Amino acid sequence: MISNLLVDLFQTGLPFLYAVLVVSYGISFIGGARLLDAWKTRVLVAVIAMHLVYLGARTVSFDHPPITSVFEIMTILAAGIAIAYLYIEVKTGERNTGVFILFLALVFQLVSSLFIRDLVRIPDYLHSRVLGFHVSTALLGYTGISLSAVYGLLYLMLYHDIRSSRFGIVYSRLPNLERLEEMSHRAEVFGFVMLGIAIVIGLIWLPSVFTDFSYLDPKLVATIVIWILYAVGLWAKRQFGWKGRKTMILTLVAFGIVFFSMTVVNIYLSGFHRFH
Amino acid sequence: MNLFSIGISHHTASVEVREKMWLSEAEAREILPRLREQYFSECMLVSTCNRTELYGMILPGTTVTERELTEFLIGFKKADPEVQPQHFTACEAGAAVHQIFRVAAGTDSMVLGDIQILNQVKEAFGLAREVGATGPVMNRLMQATLHVGKRVRSETGICEGAVSVSYAAVELASKIFSDLSKKSALLIGAGETGELTLKHLVGKGIGGVRIANRTREKAETLAAAFSGTVVDYDSIADTVAAVDIVITSVTGPTFVLGPEELHRVMRKRANAPLFIIDIGVPRNVDPASRKIENVFLYDIDSLNTVIDRNLDRRKAEIPKVTAILHEETEDFFDWYNSLQVTPTIKDLRDAFENIRTQEVQKNIQRFRAEDRELLDIVTKQIVNKLLHQPMTVLRAGSASNNGRDETLLRVHTVRELFGIGRRVKGADDGA
């Protein structure tokens, strides 16, 4: 079947494609080739298109959307990051931060391609559209939070370089501090809103599907705690007009908490929220 | 090729010498026709504060020495004895083409990559054309020169990065803030560099300008020039809290701003980034303020670091520029050589023959098999007849006075009219 062929082809091929993408953006970042400046975005669009074909082919081949295992979700996350970055690039016209963000996509895709399995028999509820919506909004939420952390990190790098009069590649190729702060903030707001939607859908719909549903499920609790954390942070920024370095450090700390808690929840704790 | 160039520049002469050889527009208008009459079939002259250079095609069948031209120029400017022939350098043919290209590319400038001069070169060509001193070669040389300037700017980084204190300050400002039109600046004191920095910021569209000075009149004059407002010199700290960029250039033994004031200022402005450019010597802002979060404090030394770095980066671009110059010089010579009569006749014949074959191929099916050979013969005859007259005229030129003005112009016109040969890429897109 053609879709099986496509699955096999892209499962192996996508990490390489993302590697090509990261290398292209990397060379372009250090100012190596002006030709790449013109071509890198086209390469990005092509890779995203192929990734979508891969996700479509997986859905057809295994008769369910690829949201049933951590590794299936990772490939969606990779695609989500690439799409979010493309959106940012088009929206802001800022084309020099791709290497940092697409590197995340490469890591997720690589891990996914290495460990993904072809699950055909899955519980009925995993075919649900509502679940698809729940999972995709949650993923978009985490994508936004990750991107805000990447931009926060870039902000701190540039802040440090400007203050210590180090005018290297970071100084010459990154956008200005204000722009980086704004990008980080926007990604954060986006992530916050998406995560909020995912939580609402989950709270309304999950109890009706899972007999063993519990409000004390670790993943649910962790996500809600994270969401409240961001709500407080965003409110404080607005209320007190927090700006600059400290806010960016807070963004990174928050991301650290997210990363840590999600790792712990996914690896060490169990609940109805695990499907594999 | 009998292109000749002679000039005096910052490489060979001090400013005292160079200014003696500087030609005003009126002087250029006077000297160009005379040069054309005596030595050149076409010529042009660039004169700026850093160089005076003459480019010309030597009249066919004549020779001219470097000495003759130097003496003519010195005599015209009555610059003897300050200016001596050894202040001049001359080059011929390819070297002369390369020289004007280097000028346009900014690799011959006093500050590497400074291509303000490109405009002056353009004007110089324009002036020479106005007084009728140019011809096909100079016109082409101008196109090619402007094209070099354009390519160098878009394909290399030779002009990138600020190389003066005032521009370096503006460059830093745009690394901190994204939209300068939403920011405002305060100039404390009035010094040349401070004013220049403010001028560049205004040029970048800074949202608001405030000026504080010990003598209020001076502040008012500046405020009028930059459409800004005057603020009280004694309440500077309050104003600093309300602006985003501060330029200080005050002469005095004490600091104008210190960490204590700035801590207060930062609280007042909710910690929003503040960029301080301290151009004063001795310094106006206590360096200890550098530690305060979101305060970006730069003094002359740190601005010079920016400049040094940018100059290093420009230097690293020289090989790329040189490659472009070689390519463009080669292109120019390809064009120049094509102006010879024999290759032009061949190109013209080929161009017509191409059109003929194409059209015959396209329409051959419409003819009966037995007529097809006839079609070929008839079309060939038409082409030959059409070409007969232009060929004869071109050949006559070649036999009698090949290389002379009219022949050159004629060959050039023929090539233009029939679109033959390679053209300088982008030469016609408004360069």
Q: What is the pLDDT of residue B402?
A: 47
> B309 vs chain A: nearest CA distance in angstroms?
7
Contact A121, A79 (CB under 8 A): no
Nearest to A149 by CA among A101, A206, A80: A101
Q: What is the pLDDT of residue A241?
A: 78
Q: Would you call A182 and B178 a contact, using CB atoms and an 8 Å cutoff?
A: yes
Cα angle, residue A162 at apex, residues A160 and A167 outer, rounded to 5°: 110
Q: Would you call A242 and B175 a contact, using CB atoms and an 8 Å cutoff?
A: no
Backbone phi, psi, residue B299, to 5°: -110, 180
Q: Would you call B178 and A242 a contact, using CB atoms and an 8 Å cutoff?
A: no
Average pLDDT of the segment spanning B230-258: 90
A interface with B, Cβ–Cβ below 8 Å: 31, 34, 158, 162-163, 165, 167, 171-172, 175-179, 182, 240-246
Q: Would you call B270 and A241 a contact, using CB atoms and an 8 Å cutoff?
A: yes
Q: Is the pLDDT of residue B243 over 90?
A: yes
Per-residue confidence band for B430, with pLDDT thresholds at 50, 70 and 90:
very low
Q: Would you call B273 and A171 a contact, using CB atoms and an 8 Å cutoff?
A: no
Scanning every residue of chain B, which has its alpha carbon at the shortest distance from the alpha carbon of A245? Answer: B294
Q: ipTM of this complex > 0.85?
A: no
Q: Would you call A31 and B157 a contact, using CB atoms and an 8 Å cutoff?
A: yes
Scanning every residue of chain A, which has its alpha carbon at the shortest distance from the alpha carbon of B302? Answer: A165
The domain locations on chain A are: 1-121, 123-276
- Residue tagged 């949650």 (tokens): A138
In whole angstroms, what is the distance from residue B164 CA to residue A89 CA? 32
Lowest-pLDDT range of A87-91, A222-226, B1-5, B411-415: B411-415
Of A176, A244, A246, Cβ closest to residue B175: A176
Helical spans, DSSP H, in A175-216: 177-209
Average pLDDT of the segment spanning A103-126: 80
| pLDDT, mean over chain B | 86
DSSP classification of residue B59: P
Q: What is the pLDDT of residue B356?
A: 93
More confident call, B342 vs A80: A80
Of A34, A178, A242, Cβ closest to residue B177: A178
B271 CB within 8 Å of a chain A CB: yes
**What are the tokens at B115?**
């291509």
Q: Would you call A175 and B178 a contact, using CB atoms and an 8 Å cutoff?
A: yes
> A239 vs chain B: nearest CA distance in angstroms?
11
**What are the tokens at B398?**
């070649």
More confident call, B223 vs A165: B223
Average pLDDT of the segment spanning B35-40: 90
- Which residues from A are below 8 Å from B178, CB to CB? 175-176, 178-179, 182
Of A162, A167, A246, Cβ closest to residue B296: A162
Q: What is the pLDDT of residue B252?
A: 82
Backbone phi, psi, residue B15, to 5°: -60, -35
Catalytic residue numbers of B, as ranges: 49
Tell me the pairing of strands B184-188 and B245-248. Answer: parallel
Q: Is the pLDDT of residue A237 over 90?
A: no
More confident call, A214 vs A160: A160
B207 CB within 8 Å of a chain A CB: no
> A186 vs chain B: nearest CA distance in angstroms?
15
Strand order in the sheet with B40-47: B40-47, B51-58, B3-9, B89-92
In whole angstroms, what is the distance from residue B85 CA to residue B89 CA? 9
| pLDDT, mean over chain A | 85
Of A162, A179, A246, Cβ closest to residue B293: A246
The B residues from 301 to 340 touching A (CB cutoff 8 Å) are: 302, 305-306, 309, 313
Q: What is the pLDDT of residue B405?
A: 63
| Cα dihedral B214, B217, B221, B226 sign | positive
Nearest to B248 by CA among B304, B305, B207, B300: B300
- Which residues from B are below 8 Å from A245, CB to CB? 293-294
Q: Is the pLDDT of residue A211 over 80?
A: no
**What are the tokens at B74?**
């010195």
Average pLDDT of the segment spanning B200-209: 90
Per-residue confidence band for B93, with pLDDT thresholds at 50, 70 and 90:
confident
Per-residue confidence band for B421, with pLDDT thresholds at 50, 70 and 90:
low
Q: What is the pLDDT of residue A136?
A: 83
Task: Tell me the sheet residues that pair with B187.
Answer: B211, B247
Percent share of chain A, pLDDT over 70: 92
Q: What is the pLDDT of residue B292?
A: 92
Scanning every residue of chain A, which has its alpha carbon at the shortest distance from the alpha carbon of B291? Answer: A163
Range with top average pLDDT, A61-65, A243-247, A268-272, B175-179: B175-179
More confident call, B218 vs A167: B218
> In 3-state terms, what secondary structure has residue A238?
helix
**What are the tokens at B372?**
């097809």
Contacts of the segment A210-219: beta carbons below 8 A, 24+ positions apart: A210/A125, A210/A272, A212/A272, A213/A272, A214/A271, A214/A272, A217/A271, A217/A272, A217/A273, A218/A265, A218/A269, A218/A270, A218/A271, A218/A273, A219/A265, A219/A266, A219/A269, A219/A271, A219/A273
Q: What is the pLDDT of residue B429?
A: 37
- Which residues from B are below 8 Å from A246, CB to CB? 271, 293
Cα angle, residue B381 at apex, residues B377 and B385 outer, rounded to 5°: 175
- Count residue pairs from A and B with Cβ separation < 8 A: 56
Average pLDDT of the segment spanning B64-89: 87
More confident call, B127 vs B190: B127
DSSP classification of residue B255: -
- Structural domains of chain B in order of their starting residue, each with its CATH number: 3-158 (3.30.460.30), 165-311 (3.40.50.720), 337-418 (no CATH)
Contact B247, B239 (CB under 8 A): no
| End-to-end alpha carbon distance in chain B | 25
Contact A28, A40 (CB under 8 A): yes
- Which residues from A are below 8 Å from B272, CB to CB? 241, 243-244
Q: Is the pLDDT of residue A40 over 80?
A: yes
* Nearby residues of B403 by Cβ (< 8 Å), 6 or more positions away: B60
Scanning every residue of chain A, which has its alpha carbon at the shortest distance from the alpha carbon of B309? Answer: A167
